[in-house]
Each structure stands twice: as structure tokens, then as C-alpha cells.
């Protein structure tokens, strides 16, 4: 191995020259502050020390859905690079045109017009601006406010920060003021209702709140409602009435309904799109990214209905003044086309459904541990395990205890050969190509890790 490739050398080079996001300096600089990964094959990744891990988080929630080392994707990217690796998007390229057609075919209803980006954040930014200008072009220039659901992460640019939040872990406080006119409404998750109500007696008050806010702010001031369709870490659906009610409210007030599908689309919940869990329900705008090209090449997309797109048909005045140099990149689009083809050919969504059920059912064996609280899942490969102090009483860990628990969980999960976001709750979003043996390995590993932590913390 060349001298500069030892872990210690690379570690020092990192600390000197690479600004690592979402990891405080004192953690990065501490023992086990970060790892360096060098290879990936199937659902496994290998670090620079030669240790191999089963990826239980598809790299970053919903990115490497087809696993690692996909030759077909590499070949498609290589071929496109050799043929024509770049041209500005307004001159179009063939993979871009074909991918748009493919996405239009996959998306239900009249969702059919694709605006590309290189990340989820950029695609969210596009959605915000499309909704804003749509209202201006509809003769409603004062219709600019955005209603947003819960505390969600939608990205890190100013627009994306303004419509989301991730407090307290990822607070935007230091960047204020953000965009004006953003109003939050409660989350539609019954097991932890923001309004303290019980379904179905609640009368779906969370959806009704959106109408109340529109009325309160003035219907002529609200441009859009934005939320994720299914929130990460909940692994359950909002009530069946929720999205159809929100659709009806948005229609009534001419408010565009934007769904951030970045985490829960492309098979993650056992369907192409999360919103397909509600029959006949179609939003006005959806946002995709992460697994669109299996993470092999960065790509995001904002897909709008024909009705929304038609507003922008006209001259310079109607044009969406918004662009990115790498938008519709031919290599990314070629990689995405093959990614979607593999998903169909290998019946990846069917696998997500079957293995999602198997994972969810297998996880119930962990309930023998006193620290295992609610286990949620059953919708494709998206499961969540909550750890508590006492399963019987539902008593939660104190913040201090939780910190200790999470530190041990993280360490032991890694030692046991699993890689993912090891927090409490523990989110399990493995690649969609995972098989039964790998799931058995994961559940047995979690069983062992949970038992060891309980013994170390003297919780038995
Ligand atoms: C729901 C959601 N929206 C938007 C984003 C931002 O996407 P990106 O990191 O590709 O900019 C993320 C990223 O994790 C996300 O989970």
C-alpha cells in the first residue's frame, strides 16, 4: 500500500483539508471520529482496515438501493462519458429525454414534466420556485406563503432550510432570518400525535389544521403545502383519510401540493412512490433524488403535473428563471435509466415488499429484551426500532441515559459488522436487494447487541 494510503495519513489529510459535514469537529477529531470506506459489493461495504459491514441504511437512507458494485450502471455511465459526457441542458441530451419519458410513465396521474437537479436540496429549491411562480403566472402575485408539515429535513440551502427543520440536532437558528411566510402544521402520525388526540375520534384534526391556517393567513396568500409523504423514522402511514383530505383542501384554495418523496420513493415502501399507498391520490409536484441513479452519480428531479407545467408555456415572461449547470447531466441520466430498468427487471419493488415484511416480522423477536419498545414497519424496507428503559411501562431513557445507550449501540453495531445510522430510534433502511439470509444476520446481530448493552447498563 502506498504510504499516503495508510489510515493515519488519510485521517490527518482529512482533518487538515476536508470539511466534513454534519459531524462536530470534536467528534471527528476524537477516537473513532470517522472511518474511510474503500469498496462495496452487493449489500456490503468494506473499510480501509479490511473490515466488511452489512449496510443497513442504504448509505444515507435511500441512496444505494440496488446495493454496491453494479456493473450495468457503471457501464452505462462509462459509455455515456465516452460518447458525450456533458452539454448544457438547454441543448438537451438523449439520456435526459429518455429518462423524462420513463419517469413520466412511472408516475401516476398527469405527473409528467421533469425538471432536473443534482441533489435533493436543489430539487426542493426548484419545487419552491415553481410553486411561487405558478401562482404569479396565475395572476396571484401575493400568493407566496408556504405551509409545511412537521419538523422535516428538506435540505441545507436557504430555501430548503426555510421549509424544513431538524431541531435540535440540526438547528437553523444561526442562519436566520430565513425565507418569510413559512408556517408549520402538525404531523399526521397517530402513535405520537402532535395534537394529543386519538384516531379516529380526532376527526383528522391534523389535516383540518391546514385549512385553518390557510383561512387564518388568507387564501390569497398561500402558494403551497409541502411535506414528506411518509416521514423517516415513523415507518407507518398517516391515517387513510389524511392525504385525500389534504388534496381536497389544496384544490379548494388553489394551493399546490408538493411531496418530498426523496426518502420514501423508488421502492422503499414497497411501491414506486410513497403516495401510491393512497388510491387515486396524486400531488401537483413531487421531488426525487437519492436512489434515482442508485447514488452512483448525483441526480435529483422535480416532477410536476401537466397542468402545472402548462402555466410555464409561453415566452420569456412565463419561463421558469431557474437553472443549474449540471441539471439533466447526461451521465447521471444514463445511470438513472439503467437503475430504473434494473428495478423492473429484478423485481426490486416486490423484493422490498417481501423482505420488508420478513424484516418487520423477524424484528418482533427482539421484544424479549426489556429495552426494546415499539417496532414499526411492514411497508417495504423501512423499519424503526425504539429503545426504551422499560418496555412494560414504556418509560423512556433520560437524555443522559439515552446518550449512553446510543454511544454503546453505535459502537456495538459497528463491531458486529453493521453500518448505518445507529441512533435511537434505530432506522433500518437496507438496500432493496437484501435477502433473507442477510436479514437473519441483521436480526441476530441486533439481538446480540441489545443483550450486551442491557448487561453493560445493568438493565435486565
Ligand atoms: C426528505 C429529504 N428531503 C431532502 C433531502 C436533501 O437531499 P440532498 O441531501 O440530496 O440534498 C434529504 C436528505 O437527506 C431528505 O431526506
- The set of cell numbers assigned to 343 is 428495478
Query: Cα 207 vs. chain centroid, distance in angstroms?
Result: 22
8 A C-beta contact, residue 222 and residue 188: no
Q: At 144, which CATH number?
A: 3.40.640.10
Q: What is the average pLDDT across 171-198?
A: 93
pLDDT for the residue 89: 86
Q: What percent of the chain has pLDDT over 90?
A: 93
User: Do both 330 and 414 map to the same domain?
Assistant: no
Q: 52-55 and 44-47: which strand pairing?
A: antiparallel
- Alpha carbon of 298 to ligand 1 centroid (Å): 12
pLDDT for the residue 69: 98
Q: Please report the beta strands in 63-214, taking only residues with DSSP state E, as ranges in sequence order.
A: 111-117, 145-149, 182-185
Q: At 363, which CATH number?
A: 3.90.1150.10
| 16 within some domain | no
Is it the case that residue 171 has pLDDT exceeding 90? no
Query: Cα 11 vs. chain centroid, distance in angstroms?
Result: 29
8 A C-beta contact, residue 238 and residue 188: yes
Query: Cα 305 vs. chain centroid, distance in angstroms?
Result: 22
CA–CA gap between residue 415 and residue 407 (Å, rounded):
12
- Alpha carbon of 193 to ligand 1 centroid (Å): 24
Q: Which residue has the higher pLDDT, 165 or 318?
A: 318
Is it the case that residue 116 has pLDDT exceeding 90? yes
Q: What is the average pLDDT across 359-372?
A: 97
Best mutation site among 149, 151, 153 for ligand 1 pocket (most ligand atoms within 8 Å of CB): 153
User: Do both 44 and 118 map to the same domain?
Assistant: no
Is it the case that residue 338 has pLDDT exceeding 60? yes
Check if 263 has its Cβ closer than 6 Å to any atom of ligand 1: yes
User: Do both 286 and 380 map to the same domain?
Assistant: no
Is it the case that residue 2 has pLDDT exceeding 80? no
* DSSP reduced 3-state for 412: helix
For ligand 1, atom 8, the nearest C-alpha belongs to: 120
- Alpha carbon of 64 to ligand 1 centroid (Å): 14
User: Do both 112 and 232 map to the same domain?
Assistant: yes
Best mutation site among 63, 156, 166, 290 for ligand 1 pocket (most ligand atoms within 8 Å of CB): 290
User: Do both 262 and 173 map to the same domain?
Assistant: yes
- The set of cell numbers assigned to 14 is 482529512
Q: What is the average pLDDT across 140-150?
A: 96
Is it the case that residue 3 has pLDDT exceeding 60? no
Of 32-41, 54-63, 87-96, 157-166, the range with the lowest mean pLDDT is 157-166
- Alpha carbon of 249 to ligand 1 centroid (Å): 26
Mean pLDDT of the chain: 95
Is it the case that residue 1 has pLDDT exceeding 70? no
22: confidence class by pLDDT, cuts 50, 70, 90: confident
User: Do both 315 and 399 map to the same domain?
Assistant: no
Is it the case that residue 169 has pLDDT exceeding 70? no
User: Do both 113 and 223 map to the same domain?
Assistant: yes
Q: Which residue has the cell 408556517?
A: 183
Residue 397 DSSP label: P
Q: 111-117 and 44-47: which strand pairing?
A: unpaired
CA–CA gap between residue 93 and residue 123 (Å, rounded):
19
Which atom number of ligand 1 is nearest to the Cα of residue 264? 1
pLDDT for the residue 168: 59
4: confidence class by pLDDT, cuts 50, 70, 90: low
79: confidence class by pLDDT, cuts 50, 70, 90: very high
Q: Which residue has the cell 381536497?
A: 248
Check if 154 has its Cβ closer than 6 Å to any atom of ligand 1: yes
Q: What is the average pLDDT across 192-201?
A: 94
User: Do both 152 and 242 map to the same domain?
Assistant: yes
Is it the case that residue 177 has pLDDT exceeding 70? yes
Best mutation site among 120, 286, 326 for ligand 1 pocket (most ligand atoms within 8 Å of CB): 120
User: Do both 323 and 358 map to the same domain?
Assistant: no
CA–CA gap between residue 334 and residue 93 (Å, rounded):
10
Is it the case that residue 123 has pLDDT exceeding 80? yes
Tell me the residue range of the domain where 204 lies.
Answer: 71-345
Check if 153 has its Cβ closer than 6 Å to any atom of ligand 1: yes
Is it the case that residue 150 has pLDDT exceeding 70? yes
- The set of cell numbers assigned to 94 is 438523449
Is it the case that residue 201 has pLDDT exceeding 80? yes
**Which residues, 6+ apart, have CB-to-CB distance to 110 below 8 Å?**
282, 305, 306, 307
Q: What percent of the chain has pLDDT over 70?
A: 98
- Alpha carbon of 120 to ligand 1 centroid (Å): 5
Q: What is the average pLDDT across 153-161?
A: 95
* Residue finishing a domain among 314, 345, 376: 345
Q: What is the average pLDDT across 406-415?
A: 96
pLDDT for the residue 458: 87
* DSSP reduced 3-state for 424: coil
| 9 within some domain | no
Check if 57 has its Cβ closer than 6 Å to any atom of ligand 1: no
User: Do both 177 and 306 map to the same domain?
Assistant: yes
Amino acid at each position: 500500500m502506498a504510504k499516503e494510503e495508510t489510515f493515519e495519513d488519510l485521517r490527518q489529510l482529512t482533518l487538515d483539508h476536508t470539511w466534513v459535514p454534519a459531524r462536530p469537529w470534536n467528534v471527528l477529531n476524537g477516537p473513532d471520529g470517522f472511518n474511510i470506506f474503500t469498496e462495496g459489493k452487493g449489500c456490503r461495504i468494506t473499510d480501509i482496515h479490511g473490515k466488511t459491514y452489512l449496510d443497513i441504511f442504504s448509505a444515507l437512507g435511500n441512496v444505494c438501493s440496488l446495493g454496491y458494485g453494479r456493473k450495468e450502471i457503471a457501464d452505462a455511465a462509462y459509455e455515456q462519458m465516452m460518447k458525450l459526457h456533458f452539454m448544457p441542458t438547454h441543448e438537451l441530451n438523449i439520456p435526459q429525454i429518455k429518462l423524462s419519458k420513463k419517469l413520466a410513465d412511472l408516475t401516476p396521474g398527469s405527473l409528467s414534466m421533469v425538471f432536473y437537479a443534482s441533489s435533493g436540496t436543489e430539487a426542493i429549491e426548484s419545487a419552491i420556485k415553481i410553486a411561487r411562480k405558478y401562482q404569479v403566472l396565475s395572476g396571484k402575485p401575493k400568493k407566496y406563503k408556504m405551509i409545511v408539515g412537521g419538523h422535516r429535513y428538506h435540505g441545507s440551502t436557504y430555501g430548503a432550510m426555510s421549509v424544513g427543520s431538524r431541531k435540535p440536532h440540526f438547528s437553523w437558528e444561526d442562519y436566520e432570518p430565513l425565507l418569510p411566510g413559512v408556517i408549520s402544521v402538525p404531523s399526521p402520525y397517530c402513535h405520537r400525535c402532535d395534537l394529543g388526540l386519538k384516531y379516529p375520534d380526532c376527526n383528522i384534526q391534523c389535516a383540518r389544521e391546514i385549512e385553518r391556517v390557510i383561512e387564518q393567513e388568507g387564501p390569497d396568500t398561500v402558494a403551497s403545502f409541502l411535506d414528506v409523504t411518509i416521514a423517516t423514522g415513523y415507518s407507518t402511514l398517516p391515517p387513510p383519510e389524511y392525504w385525500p383530505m389534504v388534496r381536497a383542501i389544496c384544490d379548494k384554495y388553489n394551493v399546490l401540493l408538493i411531496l418530498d418523496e426523496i426518502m420514501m420513493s423508488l421502492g422503499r415502501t414497497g411501491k414506486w412512490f410513497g403516495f401510491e399507498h393512497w388510491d387515486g391520490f396524486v400531488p401537483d409536484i413531487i421531488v426525487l433524488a437519492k436512489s434515482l441513479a442508485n447514488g452512483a452519480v448525483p441526480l435529483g428531479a422535480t416532477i410536476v403535473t401537466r397542468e402545472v407545467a402548462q402555466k410555464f408555456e409561453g415566452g420569456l415572461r412565463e419561463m421558469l428563471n431557474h437553472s443549474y449547470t449540471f441539471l439533466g447531466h447526461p451521465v447521471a441520466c444514463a445511470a438513472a435509466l439503467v437503475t430504473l430498468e434494473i428495478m423492473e427487471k429484478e423485481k426490486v419493488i416486490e423484493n422490498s415488499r417481501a423482505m420488508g415484511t420478513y424484516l418487520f416480522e423477524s424484528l418482533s423477536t427482539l421484544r424479549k429484551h426489556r429495552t426494546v419498545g415499539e417496532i414499526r414497519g411492514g411497508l417495504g424496507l423501512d423499519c424503526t426500532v425504539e429503545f426504551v428503559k422499560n418496555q412494560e411501562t414504556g418509560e423512556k431513557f433520560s437524555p443522559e441515559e439515552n446518550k449512553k445507550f446510543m454511544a454503546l449501540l453505535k459502537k456495538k453495531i459497528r463491531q458486529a459488522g453493521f453500518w448505518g445510522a445507529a441512533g435511537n430510534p434505530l432506522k433500518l433502511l437496507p438496500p432493496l436487494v437484501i435477502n433473507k439470509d442477510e436479514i437473519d444476520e441483521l436480526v441476530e446481530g441486533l439481538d446480540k447487541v441489545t443483550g450486551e448493552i442491557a448487561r453493560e447498563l445493568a438493565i435486565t
